[in-house]
A = this chain, B = another copy of it.
Amino acid sequence: MANPHQDPAHPSVTFTPWRRLAVVGCGQMGSSILRAAKLRSLAGTTVALEHSGAVRKRVGELHLADEWGADPSLVAGADCILLCVPVHQVLPVLASLAPHVAPGAVVGDVASVRCGLEGAPALLPQASYVPTHPMAGTERSGPDGGSATLFEGRWCLLTPQPGQNPQDVTRMVAFWRQCGANTKVLAPNVHDQFCALVSHLPHALAYSLCRTLEGQCMSAAELQAMAGPSLASATRVAASDPALWAGILQANRHAVLKALDGFSAQLDTLRALLAAKPETQQGSGGAPSTSPPQASTQALLQAQGQALLGWLEQAQAIKTNTPPTCPGS
């Protein structure tokens, strides 16, 4: 069962259920945490704080928490508070909760970006702030988009501050492992670079690919309806909430731009491998390919094909060398 990626600082930890767990924001992420906590008895009492009346109604209907409401004072007495709100709402929501947060509470957000949230701990001097970001989720939004098993086999990335009480970090590690996740502690800037590459870039590509389908030989709806499964995979996450993703991409823009640059450089190389001459033997206007191309053209096509093949082979090797540690992915 040795996992080479599991954090060596926390080889094995025991978990004591929270007395009172408050989840703030009951979208896919928050509702999944509440479901996992209920399923595995991870808290004596669960509390859901949610500003939307419609979502609160669903929280009640789905029996997601023991208590729910819109009043920040609901977090009073909680020994753990998890903010599951869009990244740009983390600081204002924290400020609204601050007067009600108990001394010694362990508080975290599950935001996809650390950049811009450096000021979070200072808003709650009485508490211990441990950001925890589960690398899990689907394109579905809202409390109906969550599940108790969302975190199973996934990774939760923790970005504590230097000098923070190690016990508070360990409690969060133990909680996320109870939710079924592997855990890893990362520096905030490494976290942001990591997420830009493995999550924010794939989302950017999916949204861009959907937009590319407009104004083509068929309507975008026809293209998608008649396509094979590769388009569906490539665009799956473009169904994700645009407001959430505008916030994430903007907050992590420096790392995302760097990731976009890296990707564009690869795409440019592929383009060059395809765009190289010869023109004469290809294309609908060219000679029928049953007539043999000239020897020099043939050699060029072959050399071009070899270079393209080598480029694709390296890409495939990167893909298929992935250690299969994430079931279902």
Interface residues of A (CB under 8 A from B): 5, 91, 115-119, 122-123, 134-138, 154-155, 157, 182, 184, 188-190, 192-194, 197-199, 201-214, 216-218, 220-243, 245-247, 249-251, 253-254, 256-257, 259-260, 262-264, 266-267, 270-271, 274-275, 282-284, 288-291, 301, 304-305, 308-309, 311-316, 318-323, 325-326, 328-329
Please give, as numbers and ranges, the residues of chain B lying within 8 Å of A262 by CB-CB distance: 212, 216
Question: Within the assembled complex, what's the spacing in Å between the Cα atoms of A204 and B274?
Answer: 11
Contact of A212 among B123, B232, B263, B320 (CB under 8 A): B263
Please give, as numbers and ranges, the residues of chain B lying within 8 Å of A305 by CB-CB distance: 246-247, 250
Which B residue's beta carbon lies closest to that of A193? B217
Question: Within the assembled complex, what's the spacing in Å between the Cα atoms of A283 and B204?
Answer: 19
Question: Within the assembled complex, what's the spacing in Å between the Cα atoms of A203 and B312?
Answer: 10
Question: Within the assembled complex, what's the spacing in Å between the Cα atoms of A207 and B275?
Answer: 17
Inter-chain contact B211/A314, CB cutoff 8 Å = yes
Which B residue's beta carbon lies closest to that of A254? B283
Inter-chain contact B242/A284, CB cutoff 8 Å = no
Q: In whole Å, how far is A69's beta carbon from the nearest beta carbon of chain B?
A: 27
Please give, as numbers and ranges, the residues of chain B lying within 8 Å of A311 by CB-CB distance: 207, 211
Please give, as numbers and ranges, the residues of chain B lying within 8 Å of A266 by CB-CB distance: 208-209, 211-212
Please give, as numbers and ranges, the residues of chain B lying within 8 Å of A184 by CB-CB distance: 226
Q: Can you list 28 A-B pairs, Cβ within 8 angstroms, ordered by A?
A: A115-B283, A122-B290, A136-B228, A155-B227, A155-B228, A182-B226, A197-B212, A197-B217, A197-B223, A198-B223, A204-B270, A206-B234, A207-B311, A209-B263, A210-B318, A211-B266, A211-B311, A216-B262, A221-B321, A221-B323, A226-B326, A230-B237, A238-B318, A238-B319, A239-B320, A254-B284, A260-B274, A264-B264
Q: In whole Å, how far is A188's beta carbon from the nearest beta carbon of chain B?
A: 8
Please give, as numbers and ranges, the residues of chain B lying within 8 Å of A251 by CB-CB distance: 282
Question: Within the assembled complex, what's the spacing in Å between the Cα atoms of A138 and B66?
Answer: 45
Inter-chain contact B135/A227, CB cutoff 8 Å = yes
Q: In whole Å, how far is A277's beta carbon from the nearest beta carbon of chain B?
A: 11
Chain A binding surface SS class: helix
With contacts A119-B290, A289-B91 taken as known, whether A202 is within 8 angstroms of B209 at the C-beta atoms is yes
Inter-chain contact B250/A210, CB cutoff 8 Å = no
Please give, as numbers and ranges, the residues of chain B lying within 8 Å of A239 by CB-CB distance: 316, 319-320
Please give, as numbers and ranges, the residues of chain B lying within 8 Å of A256 by CB-CB distance: 274
Which B residue's beta carbon lies closest to that of A115? B284
Question: Within the assembled complex, what's the spacing in Å between the Cα atoms of A242 and B317?
Answer: 10
Please give, as numbers and ranges, the residues of chain B lying within 8 Å of A229 by CB-CB distance: 136-138, 328-329
Please give, as numbers and ranges, the residues of chain B lying within 8 Å of A241 by CB-CB distance: 316
